[in-house]
Each structure stands twice: as structure tokens, then as C-alpha cells.
């Protein structure tokens, strides 16, 4: 089974940058995107053979995620809070239930400059961990988690220590998520691989110089980590400030 995740930084912009060509080439069983930046009905995406699910932010041109799947899910969840919080109205999650597993697409809130949004960011993280831990089947989750977990996961860790995406608080939150029973598929296979990034700033010619961060992940329940075939960062695919990541896993 092939799964793909991609923060497209605006699906309407991505569609003008050959998104559908990339979509077709991947031929994924499930394809998840984050940061769609569109409302329901604002865009039509022609993906024959796929069921489409969207969770858009209430705020226009902001956040949002979508999942395209060849197999219709048994159920779909788009909220992690019992009473909608601010972050829960931003279209940040889609959880699809299948026969043997849950597939969760997530776009984690950004802590923002000077960590001015760190409190809602950590509240989201705590609730997200609680949510995925409560699911009654093995979980495959993917998306833009907006954190580089360890120093190996960004080019300049010393200069960025304490900044959004590499603060002690966000890194600890991610550690707690893994400790709840999940495996970072890429580090499981490639624990010592350096210079492997999924996001690059548009500034300072960062992508050609490979000055990036690994903030996009496929995490799986520990119970199925031995089913992982490969976890790939597709850095040769353009169209966003992020590149797609993919997971090959055998759950037959």
C-alpha cells in the first residue's frame, strides 16, 4: 500500500504548478494534503477513482486539509475536541477509519514568532495525542507536524534552538506523542540519515542549498512498524515550499 502526504501551501496555487501530474504519478492508495487554504466549493480537483474528503478552516484562505482515497472509509472524523477550540475550527485534521487501520491527516498549529501561540499549540498537541491514542485500531498518521524533533532534523539546530518549530516545548510534545505508542517511520528506517528535509524557506535560496527542516512525518502505531516497507522524502518533487513524503506499508 502506498500512502502520500504533502503540504501544498495552497491547493489552488498547487493546481497551477502541476499538482495533478504529481498526483497521478504517485498513484497512491491514499493521498493526504495539508494547508489547502480554500473553502468548500472554491475548487474542483479532478481525481477519478478517488473519494475526496475536505476539512476547511472557518477563516478564508487559511489552513485546511484533504484526503483522497481509493477505498471508501467506514467513518470520518474532523474534530479532536468535544467543544470546538480555536485550533479545532481551522481544518487541521481528518481521521478516516478503514477495516484494518485508522488513517489520520494532520496539520499541526504553528507556534509562531516568539512562540506567541505556544499555549494553544501545546493544548492541541496534548489533545491530539489523546485522540490518536484512543482509536481502536492501528493508526497511520501523516502531515505537517510543524516541529523538527531532533537536531538531525534541521540544517541549523544551534541557531534555531528556541524558535517556533524547534522549541523545547514543541519537541517534548512530539516526544510524548511517540511515547504514547507510535513510531517515526523515517527514523525507524534511517536513524542516522542527515540532510533529509521536507520543508525549505523561500528565502535565501534555501532549497537549492538544502537548508531545510524535516517537519512532515508518517507515524505508525508500534504494533505495525514491522510492516513498513519504506519511508521516502520526495525532495525532487516541486510545487510547494514542502515536498511530498510517502510511506510503503503492507497491511494485508
**DSSP state at residue 99:** S
Given the residues 144, 173, 184, 216, the one annotated as active site: 144
Q: Which residues contact 123 (CB under 8 A, 6 or more apart)?
A: 85, 87
Q: What 3-state class would DSSP assign to 182?
A: strand
Given the residues 107, 173, 184, 197, the one annotated as active site: 107
- What does DSSP say about strands 139-144 and 102-107: parallel, antiparallel, or unpaired? parallel
How far, CA to CA in Å, does 52 sit from each of 18, 65, 145, 173, 217? 19, 11, 22, 31, 21
Alpha carbons 237 and 223: distance in angstroms, whole number: 31
Which of 131, 108, 129 has its CA nearest to residue 120? 108
Q: C-alpha cell of 95? A: 481521521
Q: Is residue 144 annotated as a catalytic residue, yes or no?
A: yes
Alpha carbons 244 and 246: distance in angstroms, whole number: 7
Q: Yes or no: say if 69 and 48 are a contact pair by the CB < 8 Å rule.
A: no
**Helical ranges in the chain per DSSP H:** 11-15, 19-26, 118-134, 157-160, 168-179, 185-189
Which of 151, 156, 229, 152 has its CA nearest to residue 192? 152
Could you list the active site residues? 107, 144
Amino acid at each position: 500500500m502506498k500512502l502520500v502526504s504533502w503540504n501544498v501551501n495552497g491547493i489552488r496555487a498547487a493546481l497551477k504548478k502541476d499538482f495533478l501530474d504529481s498526483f497521478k504519478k504517485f498513484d497512491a492508495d491514499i493521498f493526504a494534503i495539508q494547508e489547502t487554504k480554500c473553502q468548500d466549493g472554491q475548487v474542483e480537483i479532478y481525481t477519478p477513482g478517488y473519494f475526496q474528503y475536505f476539512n476547511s478552516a472557518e477563516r478564508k484562505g487559511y489552513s485546511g486539509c484533504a484526503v483522497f482515497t481509493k477505498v471508501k472509509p467506514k467513518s470520518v472524523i474532523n474534530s479532536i475536541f468535544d467543544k470546538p477550540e480555536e485550533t479545532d475550527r481551522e481544518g487541521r485534521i481528518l481521521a478516516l477509519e478503514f477495516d484494518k487501520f485508522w488513517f489520520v491527516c494532520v496539520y499541526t498549529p504553528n507556534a509562531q514568532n516568539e512562540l506567541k501561540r505556544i499555549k494553544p499549540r501545546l493544548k492541541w498537541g496534548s489533545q491530539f495525542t489523546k485522540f490518536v491514542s484512543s482509536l481502536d485500531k492501528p493508526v497511520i498518521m501523516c502531515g505537517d507536524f510543524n516541529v523538527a524533533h531532533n537536531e538531525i532534523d534541521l540544517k541549523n539546530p544551534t541557531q534555531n534552538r528556541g524558535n517556533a518549530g524547534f522549541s523545547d516545548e514543541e519537541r517534548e510534545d512530539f516526544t510524548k506523542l511517540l511515547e504514547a505508542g507510535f513510531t517515526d517511520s523515517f527514523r525507524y528506517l534511517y536513524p542516522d540519515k542527515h540532510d533529509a528535509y521536507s520543508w525549505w524557506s523561500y528565502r535565501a535560496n534555501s532549497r537549492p542549498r538544502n537548508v531545510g527542516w524535516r517537519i512532515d512525518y508518517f507515524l505508525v502505531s508500534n504494533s505495525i512498524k514491522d510492516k513498513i516497507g519504506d519511508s521516502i522524502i520526495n525532495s525532487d518533487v516541486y510545487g510547494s515550499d514542502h515536498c511530498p513524503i510517502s510511506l510503503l506499508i503492507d497491511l494485508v
